[in-house]
Chain A
């Protein structure tokens, strides 16, 4: 069974204070690892997909990296508008293709950035 564990559960940062969120995963075969942002009462908003160890992707103040066991979401000089819950999800090769690319999500890290 696929497992995704995110840490910490919650993180409070001062504006400008950089940090990293962790996502560790267990899958039979990784097809892709996804990062999403979720605001309260809203659906997840797609940020990145990573496919292989060593891959990195960046978007504004966010950078996602991937190893064979975990992924990190680095937040550089965060602003209050970065406050949200960040979700990590994996696509397992075993469940991919033939019309389905289902995701297994972690519980998320709730990030609060204080002005």
Chain B
């Protein structure tokens, strides 16, 4: 069964450092998303990406965050200058369209120290 692949599975970084989280969505999917889940809290929407541009973003997705689809297969989330409160599980997801449930990756656990 096709799956969404995320790397790395766990990343530890120092406060103020830049991190890039990587995702390979399912090949025929058209919509791409990043969500995050702080330990013990809800899964929260960050950003959606369609037709090579951001289609929607939440209040969490401020100027420190950016997304790219550099080569038609990878989908990346960059955090420019990490803060302690960025520590969370980050999930990439993709879907064929709105009428289909997303397929989520297994996540990247980001720990900012």
Contact = CB atoms under 8 A, between A and B. Distances in A.
Interface of A: 31-32, 34, 36, 41-49, 87, 89, 91, 95-108
A103 B31 contact: no
B33 interface: yes
A6 to B, nearest CB: 10
Q: Is the interface of B mostly helix, strand, loop or mixed?
A: strand
Contacts of A98: 55-56
Nearest to A6: B42
B82 interface: no
Nearest to A46: B101
B98 interface: yes
B101 A99 contact: no
The contact size tier of chain B is 20 to 34
Given A44-B102, A99-B31, A108-B42, 12 more contacts: A44-B43, A44-B91, A44-B104, A49-B100, A89-B43, A96-B98, A97-B98, A99-B56, A101-B95, A102-B48, A102-B56, A104-B45
A45 B108 CA distance: 16
Contact of B55 (A32, A100, A105): A100
Q: Is the interface of A mostly helix, strand, loop or mixed?
A: strand
Contact of B42 (A36, A99, A105): A105
Contacts of A102: 33, 45, 48, 56, 58
Interface in B16-51: 31, 33, 35, 41-45, 48-51
